Structure 1
Amino acid sequence: MRKDWIAGALTVCLLLTGCGTGAENTAEAAGSSVQTNTEEPVSREIFAMDTYMIITAYGENGQEAVDAAEQEIDRLDALLSTGSADSEISRLNAAGTAQLSEDSAELVSRALEINRGTGGAFDITVYPLMQAWGFTDEAYQVPSDSTIAALLEHTGSDQLDWDDDSNTLTLGDGQAVDLGGIAKGYTSGRIMELFDEYGVQSGLVSLGGNMHVHGTKPDGDKWRVGVQDPENSENIVGVLEVTDCAVITSGGYERYFEQNGTTYHHIIDPSTGKPADSGLSSVTIVSADGTLADGLSTALFVMGADKAAEYWRQHADEFDAVLIADDGSISVTEGIADAFSSDQSFEIISRK
């Protein structure tokens, strides 16, 4: 099942209109939003990177900026998609080695950096495991333990040979990679750069629920981004008030299947080859760096709450996080505690 397009549509509605803590309040906010905006936005919905996206820009050059953003999304999708045999990443996987373009090389370099920094919790070499579970083509199945064990032997970024000088990546035996775990965050960052080039002072992009906001709202207020309730896609559990940053969430509810009464989600733990069982149902990362936010939303989900909190303490100048546990409890890092509001009580993770 896929729910990411629903989450994206809901969150965009919240951004443009303000929000409450449920669908009813959101609709009421939407009804009054047109009267409070000082400029009419240029907005476009497209389908790319296997998800629905919405690009919105305000201001004199908004149309040109949205056009350029759509072209950039299409370009990066064609370059990075594992679903297209002609993409650069598919050709790499088929050949086992390739000299990469600037964008792909930047993504590989960042992926390896995040992999090392998180102790392997984020790993682009889990792609064959994703295939074995059927998450790449929706042919869902539970692979045998022997199949998982065999694939794990070839899982690990430490088996990759990366030449940073020539931008050449050589895969280890039996390996394949997928940059999808950071591609949307990288893409949203590129769109923010385009907004700067076109003089857009207020804008946002939703890439399947991955949000990136530019500047403030046209009236000068902060953007209000809803954090989805993992148990109910029509509700939110809280609101973040932010400017100039990415707000990216990973959760087991985004893509999953059920077999014999057990739910299996798509976030694979590279150490086990199975869906991460970390006690978390979603992780939201807030950072000025969209690529980092995308990678860390997965990595911290795999780590679990305690390790995620400790990792944040060591890197608090780079990002903040909202962690939602399987029991529904919410933890928010100290750096965004004042920017987060919820009808539920929540724990503040302090720097100590």
Structure 2
Amino acid sequence: MKPIILFLLAFFSISSFSQILVTRDTLLMGSKFQISVVDDKETNAHSKINLAIAEIVRLEEMLSTYKSTSEVSLINQNAGIQPVKVSEELIFLTKIANHFSELTNGAFDISIASMDKIWRFDGTMDTLPTSQEIEFAKRNVNFKNIVIDSKNQTIFLKNKGMKITFDSIGKSFAADNALAILKNLGVQSAMVNAAGDITVMGNPPHQKTWNIGVQHPEKKNQIKKIVRLNSGAVTTSGDYQKYAYINGTRYSHIIDARTGYPTRLWKSITNVGENATICNALSTSCMLLTKKEQKQLLKKVKGFRIIR
């Protein structure tokens, strides 16, 4: 679950001369998505929103770890056995993930899913895993054991017991793709909010920009900063929405793959940039890094800025 970024236009349909803003909330990929489209007719806007939703549903079928027939599930089921033929999109997304693993020296790693049995953030965890349990689970956490064969379009996990998950960047990727669908349909102004990972283009009626409020990590319903955008994305990673509370200490769901333990460096990190996928990879990565390491990372990934 991602921290909530509050969209500051709280309405469903507002007229501005011939333009109407239509917003729809829906549950996709296990989270709340909000899609807003500016059009001259409400029926047209809803038709376009339907196509954006269909794109997100299609990507969920590819990325889900809960659906046994998804590409990601098939990769996990065949870990240590054989490569799995996948879509070009999943090859592309896995390469992005592994690139950030390289940039963070292994702190960010989609094979962290292999530790899902010892760190649970669903309210059922009341004791900490032992150091031995963590070390045992870590044996299957290593992005270098994710083998991407672009020519044959396959992905292979070298070790049995390995798993990958795109919980960190999958919803953002879906948001980017949904916005691209809307753009291809001729929409000039729209917003896709994927559980707090927001990507926009154009502007809503009566306003020059989309105004996005970044939630304060320690003060519920209080906005820390307003980000104004006509194009681009805002994503936030934080430890205050999904965590385990054990012996008086809150343990974040964001785990440093190098140590096997939840990060405790930051309450939240927000990134602003050209697309939600990279923004989210950055915000998650930055949660795992010191301020000095964050600066070094942002020098390598141009066109993005951080809000702490």
Match of 2:116 in 1: 130
Aligned to 2:135, what secondary structure does the other structure show? helix
**For 2:186, what is the secondary structure of its paired residue?**
coil
Shift of 1:104: 1.6
Give the length in aligned residue pairs: 300
Unaligned runs of 5+ in 1: 18-29, 324-352
SS of 1:69's equivalent in the other structure is helix
- Counterpart of 1:106 (choices 92, 102, 124) is 92
Answer yes or no: is 1:65 the counterpart of 2:48: yes
Aligned match of 1:249 in 217, 225, 236? 236
SS of 1:234 mapped into structure 2 = coil
Measure the CA separation in 1 of the matches of 2:209 and 2:199: 13
Contact 1:38–1:219 at 8 Å: present in 2 too?
A: no
Q: Percent identity?
A: 28
- Unpaired segments of 5 or more residues in structure 2? none
Q: Answer yes or no: is 1:74 the counterpart of 2:60.
A: no
**Equivalences for residues 216-235 of structure 1 within 5 A:** 216-219=203-206, 221-235=208-222
**2:287 is equivalent to residue 307 of structure 1:** no
Tell me which amino acid in the other structure corresponds to 2:38.
Y
Query: CA distance change for structure 1 residues 237 and 309 in 2, over 3 Å: closer, same or farther?
Result: same
* Contact 1:184/1:294 (8 A) holds in 2: no
Runs of 4+ in 1 over 4 A off after TM superposition: 33-38
Aligned partners of 1:312 and 1:224: how far apart in 2? 24
What are the superposed Cα offsets for residues 89-127 of structure 1, whole Å, 9 maximum, x if unpaired? Answer: 112101123111122222112111222223222210000
> Counterpart of 1:177?
164
Corresponding residue number in structure 1 for 2:259: 272
Q: Give RMSD over aligned pairs.
A: 2.2
In the alignment, which of 36, 40, 44 is matched to residue 56 of structure 1? 36
Give the distance between the partners of 1:152 and 1:38, measured in 2 at CA: 57
How far did residue 226 of structure 1 move? 0.7
* 3-state DSSP of counterpart to 1:133: coil
Map Cα deviations across residues 159-202 of structure 1 (whole Å, 9 max, x no partner): 22211212211112131100121111111110121111111111
1:91, 1:65 → 2: CA distance? 31
What is the alpha-carbon distance in structure 2 between the residues aligned to residue 109 and residue 265 of structure 1?
A: 26
Three-state SS of the structure 2 residue aligned to 1:180 is coil
Q: Secondary structure at the match of 1:306?
A: helix
Of 33-42 and 81-90, deviating more is: 33-42
One-letter identity of the residue aligned with 2:27: F
Q: Distance in 1 between matches of 2:256 and 2:92?
A: 24
The one-letter code of the counterpart of 1:215 is G
Retained in 1: the 8 A contact 2:15–2:205? no
- Corresponding residue of 1:139: 124
Conserved 8 A contact 1:226-1:240 = yes
Alignment match, 2:25: 45
1:322 equivalenced with 2:269 (yes/no): no
Aligned equivalents of 1:215, 1:272: Cα separation in 2 = 42
Return the alpha-carbon distance in structure 2 between the equivalents of residues 101 and 138 of structure 1. 35
Return the letter of the residue paired with 2:19.
E
Q: Does 1:161 align with 2:127?
A: no
User: Structure 1: how far apart are the matches of 2:70 and 2:15?
Assistant: 44
Contact 1:213 1:243 in 2 (8 A): yes
Q: Deviations over 1:43-78 (max 9, x none)?
A: 211111121111110114422220101111111112
8 Å CA contact 2:263–2:288 kept in 1: the answer is yes
1:115 alignment counterpart:
101
TM-score by length of 1: 0.80
Tell me the CA shift for residue 37 of structure 1.
8.1
